[in-house]
Amino acid sequence: MSLGGELTRAFDLRPKRSWRGVKSNLMTVLMAAAVGLIAIPLVLVMVSVFSKGGAILFHDFPSFLTADIPPVRKAGPGMGPAVIGTLIITGTATLIAVPLGVLGAIFLNEYGGASKFARLVRFMAMVMTGVPSIVMGLFIYVVWTMHFHLQAFGGALALACLMLPIVINASEQMLRLVPNSLREASFALGATKARTVLTVVLPAAGSGIVSGSLLAVARAAGETAPLLFTIGAARTINTALFTDENTALSARIFENAKEAVVNAQDRGWGAALALVLLAFSLTVIARVVTAYATKVRK
C-alpha cells in the first residue's frame, strides 16, 4: 500500500476494444497502402528517367544541352535545339498567356462580378481547362500554321491557349482571397478602382498569382500534342520566332522514342531528364516565391 492510500478507480477511461476501433485501424492501413501504391509509379518513373537519361545527359554534360541534334543513327550528344526551342516556345506562350490571363482574372473578380458576360467568360475558362491539348494544337494548325508555315510562334500560340484557362482560374482564386477590407481601406482614402487594384489587390495576391502562373508554365513546357503539327522538327538551333521550323524537348522525346535505333532512344531519355529537371526547377521557384512572399506578409 502506498502512502497516499488506495486509489479508487471511479471511471474506466481505458480505451475499449470495439468494432469501431477495428474499423479505424483497417482504414488507416488501407490509406497507408494507397499512399504506397501512389508512390510506386512516381518512384519508378523517376528512377528510370534518372538512370537512363542521367547516363547520357551527364556523360556529355553541358554539350548535351547545347549541341545540335545529330542524325538519327549517330551516337552522342545533342539536344540544344530542343532546349532552346522549349525555352523560346514556352517563354513566348507565357508572355502571351500570363498577362492576358491575369487581366482576365482581374476583370472577372474586380469588375465583372456577377454580370452575364463575366459568368460566360468564367464558364468558358472552366470548359477550356478540360479541352484536350491536341485539340488546341489542331485549332492553331487550322487558324495559324496553315497560313504561316511551321514555326515556333505557332507552338507558342497553342501552348498559350492551354495555359490561359489555368492562369485565369488560379489568378481569380488568388484575387478572391484578398480580403475586401483592404479594398475598402484603399477606397476610403480616395483611391480610384484602378489604383486600388494595381497597388493593393495585385500585390496582395501577387505571390499566389506568380506560383499559379509558374505551375501553368511547367505544365505547358511538358506538353507534346499541341506542338506536333505547329513547330516542325529542326535539327539545328533556331532562335527565330517566326521563321523556319523549330523543335522542343517534349516533341524530341516523342520522335526519338519512336526510332528503332538505340542511339536515338538514348537521346530521348536525355531529353526526358532535361525536361523533368526544367519542370522541377520551375516548381521549386514557384514554391520559393510563395514561401518568401508569405514570410514577408506575416
Partner 1 sequence: MATEQPMTESKSSSTTGGKLATTAPVPAPRPSMIEGLMSAPVVFTVEALDVFYGAYKAVRGVELAIRKNQITAFIGPSGCGKTTVLRCLNRMNDLIPGARVSGKVLYHGIDLYGPDVSATEVRRRIGMVFQKPNPFPKSIYDNVAYGPRINGIRDKAKLDEIVEKSLRSAALWDEVKDRLKHSALGMSGGQQQRLCIARTIAVEPEVVLMDEPCSALDPIATARVEDLMRELKQHFTIVIVTHNMQQAARVSDFTAFFTAELDTAGQRFGQLVEFDVTARIFSNPKEQRTENYITGRFG
Chain positions contacting partner 1, by CB under 8 A: 113-114, 179, 181-192, 195, 199-200, 203-204, 296-298
Work out how close the CB of 168 gets to partner 1 at its nearest, in angstroms, rounded to a whole number.
22
Minimum Å gap between C-beta 180 and partner 1 is: 8
Percentages of the chain per state (helix, strand, coil), in multiples of 5: 75, 0, 25
What would the grid cell of residue 287 be? 514554391
How far is Cα 33 from Cα 27, in angstroms, rounded to an integer? Answer: 10
In the bound state with partner 1, the residue whose beta carbon lies nearer, of 171 and 230, is 171
Cβ distance to partner 1 smaller for residue 2 or 181: 181
Assigned C-alpha cell, 189: 482614402
Q: 142 burial class (0-12, 13-18, 19+ CB within 10 angstroms)?
A: exposed
Kindly state the smallest distance separating residue 217's Cβ from partner 1, in Å. Answer: 25
What cell does 186 get?
484603399
For partner 1, the closer of residues 40 and 188 by Cβ is 188
Single out the residue of 230, 239, 244, 94 nearest to residue 155, CA to CA: 230
Whole-number minimum distance, CB 193 to partner 1, in Å? 9
In angstroms, the CA 92 to CA 104 distance is 18
Pick the closer one to partner 1 by CB: 204 or 228: 204
Q: Which is nearer to partner 1, 21 or 179 (CB)?
A: 179
Q: Cβ of residue 90: shortest distance to partner 1, in angstroms?
A: 31
Nearer to partner 1, 59 or 119 (CB): 119
Calpha distance 83→270 (Å, rounded): 11
Query: What is the crossing angle of helices 152-177 and 133-140, to 10°?
Result: 130
- Minimum CB separation from partner 1 for residue 125, in Å? 22
57, 220 in Cβ contact below 8 A? no
Amino acid symbol at 170: A
